[in-house]
Amino acid sequence: MAGVGWVSSRKGNGGCGGGARVRRCGYAIPLLFALVATLAETAPARTQTLTPDPGSWRPLAYSDLQRPTARSATYADIWKDQIDANNEAYRARGDRRFVDGNAPAAAAHFVIWSEQRSVVLTLLNTALGCAPKLRDGKVRAVVKLCPMRIAIYNGIRVETLDAGRGCYLEPEAGASIDPSASAAYGSYEVGSKRLKLGMVVNHQVVDGCSFTIPLTRP
């Protein structure tokens, strides 16, 4: 089970909390949500249809955060501090190739929807922030251990928590991954109110890449 720690809270421009420890801000957790995950980029502000079967495994979606768009702005905001730190690390070692945008960064994510709240679980992939776990030569992909976060949106209030590290599937340069054979998946277990993550590479479950994250406060 992945450990979680609440790291920030915002209301509009910072109203109900912040800092290293979050204040309660009126949230009712655990939360009952339905899971929506698509291969296209999604954001909590967009209207979505609740899935009839949140417990089904669905592939994570991916967003390039090097030059965030309106569709990926949610994930860039969740990871702003880490993206800024990654940019600074590149500059500190004399790498100025990315002055017109962010240094290489991408996010994997899925979104959980209800009528009044939404939850985003996301992993951030950067060269400096992730550690390699395994490489599959046949698939031409690398599995990395990357930081995870969960953001809970309730109207204008946002709470963000660190959720440890999860597995991120990255194709090698020039490679294309067959999603029917290799993919990261997420689901929502309604009865226990838990998020679940898993990964298969070349039709094989990857050891150490199955995570269960309760949507409850410690």
Write out pLDDT tens, residues 71-80. Answer: 999 999 999 9
pLDDT in tens, 101-142: 999 999 999 887 767 677 889 999 999 999 999 999 999 999
Q: Are strands 141-154 and 117-125 parallel, antiparallel or unpaired?
A: antiparallel
Q: 3-state DSSP: the chain helix, strand, coil percent, rounded to 5?
A: 10, 40, 50
pLDDT at 25: 32
Q: Which two tokens stand for residue 129?
A: 């922030």
Residue with tokens 């963000």: 160
Cβ pair 29, 216 in contact under 8 A = yes
Is the pLDDT score of 214 beyond 50?
yes
Note if the bond before 30 is cis, omega within 30 degrees: yes
CA distance 153 to 129: 25
More confident residue, 197 or 21: 197
Spatial separation of the C-alpha atoms in residues 148 and 65, rounded to whole Å: 15
With a cut of 70, say whether residue 84 has pLDDT above it.
Answer: yes
> H-helix or E-strand containing 88?
helix 80-92
Burial 110-140 (b: 16+ CB within 10 A, else e): bbbbeeebbbbbbbbbbeebbeebeebeebe
At 84, list the tokens.
């800024």
**Model pTM score:** 0.77
51/40 Cα distance (integer angstroms): 16
Mean pLDDT of 180-185: 96
Indicate the domain borders of the chain. 5-214
Question: Using an 8 Å Cβ cutoff, are 109 and 120 in contact?
Answer: yes
